Amino acid sequence: MDLSVESLEMPALTKAQLAELLFEKIGLNKRESKDMVDAFFDLVADSLLKGEDVKISGFGNFQIRTKAPRPGRNPRTGETIPIQARRVVTFHAGYKLKEQIQDQELVPLAP
């Protein structure tokens, strides 16, 4: 099975596909590959829950941001509704990732 990030037909890269890539490219067995991917995402989530920023050099930064309460509007009825304060995860792409994306040739999106 020739699996690479470039040849993925799905519009999203899944954890299962990441594990398969580790299996194919690095030679870990499938259980080790799945465990490594799961451990990575668990580590990122745990760090964010502790209030720590996650910085991946050459890729980007994940942060928890607290959004203040604000008035919102039901788009169907136009009724004003309160939106409660909440915490959200934000991602800011790093310089190298931004540069790679800008250097990539534009491909039109399929309808």
Inter-CA distances, 32 with 13, 15, 46, 72, Å: 19, 13, 20, 46
- The answer to pTM > 0.85 is no
Locate tokens 């788009």: which residue? 75
Taking 50 as the pLDDT cut, the residues of the chain under it are 1-3, 8
Quick one: which of 110, 63, 57 has its CA closest to 89? 63
Q: Which pLDDT score, from 0 to 100, does residue 8 have?
A: 47
